[in-house]
Amino acid sequence: MAGIVRGGGLVGHAVRKPLTRGLLTGGGGGLDLSAALAGPAAPKTADVVVIGGGSGGIACANNLAERGLEVALVDHVRPSTQGTTYGFGGTCVNVGCIPKYLFHRAASLRDEVNMDGPAFGLGPTPRLADSKDAWSTVVQTVQNHVRSLSFSYAANVHANVSLVRSRAVGVDPEPDSRSVEVANAGKSNRIEARQGVILAMGGRPHIPDHIPGAKTHGITSDDIFSLNKPPGKTLCVGGSYVSLEIAGFLAGLGFDTTVAVRSRPLRGAAFDVQCADKVVELLGAHGARVAQVEPIRLERDGPDAPIRVSLRHSDGSTTEESFDTVLFGTGRAPEVTDLGLDKAGVTFDQSSGKVLVDDRFETSREGIFALGDCALTPIDAPELTPVAIRQADVLADLIVPVANGDRKPARFLDTAVAELIGRERAASLMVPSTVFTPIEYGRVGLGEDAACDLLGPDNVETYIMEWQSLHVSASHRTAHDGSEYPRQCLAKVVCHRGGDDPAQQRVIGLHFVGPAAGETMQGLALAVNLGATKEDLFDRVLGIHPTNAEAFVDLSITTRSGQDYVQQGGCA
């Protein structure tokens, strides 16, 4: 590697300062912390300049500062197409994981009281769609929490970190210089990076260019969590997890919601096709339709008028429908184009636009590194907060190796699964994740279809069970439209067959659609990442009765057997 600091031991400024608030400089949009945390102008030099104060950038800056380096952390939020801006902390805190989970929570509370409450003497609750106040109460609760988190992130940067609230607008192309130009309110400064530059600029929602009216009338996940009026009848465009999650909580809060997907939702080897179908079925039961349509034009007569959307159907026909809100969940694009990085010798992936890095997070330009959502690593690491943070930990260790043993493992996993499906694929797929739709979908490893494609169907054994949760059965829950509520739980364990002994089959994928699947999956992912076999994980362990997750220790029907895998009756 042509890195910034090589060799063992702690280098740079060895004196550790206590973890107190850092310097806050410049302006920036959203939460204005400058009154609370006033500080001097951007420093002229730093050991390392980190561009982007999101999950990865903050973790890396604090980590390097903890190791004694002087760090300038440059962060600025460009307004969304609708002018929404937000505070320090990046996507996860402000417009990602945290607000979406809180909206999911709000919708789940309301849904449960409405659907099951009457059987237990509770509810029902009024539709949020009928009350501007109710929507604004949810927005306010979420935004208050988001602001407090954003504030504490800024207040708790390490004392060796200078927080520069400005936009990085250029990286010096000269080979013997590493400086970053930052601009704020028409003024620009140059920060000389003595040792290196770390790109952690994340990504922003992408609205397709080819749909007339989309950028003018459409909104994105950057806007929805602080929308100042109820969204009303909403079209969520795209089959991404972001689109499905937002559709799920809007439907749960009582809004008429449709998801427009071109083909299948939740595509990719990480997702199991049958589980994705279950997610769609349950979204329907909670009031969100998923339709195979594509918006081709958006028109609106005035800011408060409905948006007329021309929709192309899968048979090629077109119709028009009006919506109050059209939200694009059509993927994200990195924010890396305006820094002149190409002139500095940094190369990009043509299709994703991400910065190409090696497995030590170094770009093609010596001394410039990239991590998190803006970087394409050799393992094509998923765009998730824990991934960005782990990359930051690993990069900090590479830059300033720590001799005293508090080093994090450089890989996400190193299990037997890697031997089966390849280290790079395993390192990416074995990162667990959850789709926070009304009924959650948690997963780790390969979906059944991807496993069959990769290893051949004869080498894959999938154990499966579908059942109705106790949550639903006692209350005789009905679906949103009054029809029978679908079975709520689907568990699949995808194994590599290896030999003849079923107990020795290695688990290479585990998928669960059911209540609190995210919580369940965190524990199960540990076992899978430790290289569990069917016997280790399921046959030796006793269930916790009466949970949904106990089904995992009781799976015996395989998809190959063709037997009915729907469990009827029983006490859970």
b/e map of 353-372 (b: 16 or more CB within 10 Å)? Answer: bbbbbeeebbbbbebbbbbb
The SS3 of residue 396 is: helix
Least distance in angstroms from the C-beta of 16 to ligand FAD: 24
Closer by beta carbon to ligand FAD, 96 or else 254: 96
Q: Which structure tokens are listed for 250? A: 């809007």
**Residue 92 or 115 having the CB closest to ligand FAD:** 92
The active-site residue out of 76, 480, 511, 545 is 545
| Separation CA 357–CA 354 (nearest Å) | 9
Helices (H), 156-256: 214-217, 221-224, 241-252
Shortest distance, CB of residue 311 to ligand FAD, whole angstroms? Answer: 24
Pick the piece of the chain touching ligand FAD (CB under 6 A) from 95-103, 282-290, 541-549, 564-572.
95-103
Q: In 155-178, which positions are buried (b, 16+ CB within 10 angstroms) versus exposed (e)? A: bebbebbbbbbbbbbbbbeeeeeb
- Whether residue 146 contacts residue 317, with contact meaning beta carbons closer than 8 Å, is answered with no
Can residue 331 be called a binding residue for ligand FAD (CB under 6 A)? no
Q: How far is the CB of 400 from ligand FAD (least distance, A)?
A: 20
Binding-site size, ligand FAD (CB under 6 A): 33
The first and second tokens of residue 168, run together, are: 């990085």
Least distance from ligand FAD to the Cβ atom of residue 79, Å: 10
Among 12, 22, 30, 54, binds ligand FAD (CB under 6 A): 54
Residue that is written with structure tokens 């600029």 in the block: 201
- Peptide bond before 124: cis, by omega within 30 degrees of 0? yes
Identify which of residues 387 and 465 has a Cβ nearer to ligand FAD in the complex.
387
Closer Cβ to ligand FAD, 255 or 328, answer by number:
328
Q: Which is nearer to ligand FAD, 115 or 197 (CB)?
A: 197
CB 49 to ligand FAD: min, Å: 10
Residues 55-84 contacting ligand FAD, CB under 6 A: 55-57, 74-77
Query: How far, CA to CA in Å, does 160 sit from each of 129, 306, 434?
Result: 48, 51, 35
**CA pair distance 124, 147, nearest whole angstrom:** 31
C-beta contacts of 120-127 below 8 A and 24+ residues apart: 120/475, 126/254, 127/253, 127/254
State the DSSP code for 354.
Answer: P
Residue list 174-213, contact with ligand FAD (CB under 6 A): 200-202
By C-beta, is 75 or 111 nearer to ligand FAD? 75
Among 170, 372, 447, 514, binds ligand FAD (CB under 6 A): 372
- Residue 235 is encoded by which pair of tokens? 């079209």
Least CB distance to ligand FAD at residue 76 (A): 4
Task: Give the DSSP letter string of 418-436.
Answer: HHHH-HHHHHHHTS-EEE-
CA distance linking residue 295 with residue 262, whole number of Å? 9
* Cβ proximity to ligand FAD, 444 vs 551, nearer residue: 444
Select the span of 34-42, 54-62, 146-154, 309-317 touching ligand FAD (CB under 6 A). 54-62
From residue 380 to residue 419, what is the string marking binding to ligand FAD with x (rule CB under 6 A)? ---xxxx-x-------------------------------
The DSSP 8-state label assigned to residue 407 in this structure reads: P
Residue 109 CA to residue 318 CA, distance in Å, equals: 37
Residues 333-352 contacting ligand FAD, CB under 6 A: 335
The residue assigned the tokens 């980190």 is: 50
Of 143 and 533, which has the nearer Cβ to ligand FAD?
143
Task: Please state the closest distance from residue 461 (CB atom) to ligand FAD, in A.
Answer: 30
Q: Cβ(155)–Cβ(37) under 8 Å? A: yes
Residues within window 217-246 making contact with ligand FAD, judged by CB under 6 A: 221, 242
d(CA 199, CA 295): 35
Question: Which burial class, exposed, middle or buried, applies to 473 when counting CB atoms under 10 A from its CB (0-12, 13-18, 19+)?
Answer: middle
C-alpha closest to that of 19 among 148, 116, 152: 152
The least distance separating ligand FAD from the CB of residue 56, rounded to whole angstroms, comes to 3
As measured in angstroms, the least distance from the Cβ of 390 to ligand FAD is 11
3-state secondary structure of 142: helix
Confirm if 438 and 103 have CB atoms less than 8 A apart: no
Residue 496 known to be catalytic: no
Q: Specify the residue, 29 or 498, whose C-beta has the smaller distance to ligand FAD.
A: 29
Q: Per rule CB under 6 A, is residue 559 in the interface with ligand FAD?
A: no
Q: Which one of 136-144, 357-365, 379-387, 404-412 is the stretch in contact with ligand FAD (CB under 6 A)? A: 379-387
| Residue closest to ligand FAD, measured at CB | 54
Question: Binding to ligand FAD (CB under 6 A): which residues in 97-136?
Answer: 97, 100
Nearer to ligand FAD, 167 or 506 (CB): 167
CB of 132 to ligand FAD, least distance (A): 24
Window 460-489: residues binding ligand FAD (CB under 6 A):
none
Annotate 33-50 with b (16+ C-beta within 10 A) or e (fewer). Answer: beeebebeebbeebbbbb
Residues within the interface to ligand FAD (CB under 6 A): 51-57, 74-77, 90-92, 96-97, 100, 167-168, 200-202, 221, 242, 335, 372-374, 383-386, 388
What are the catalytic residues? 545
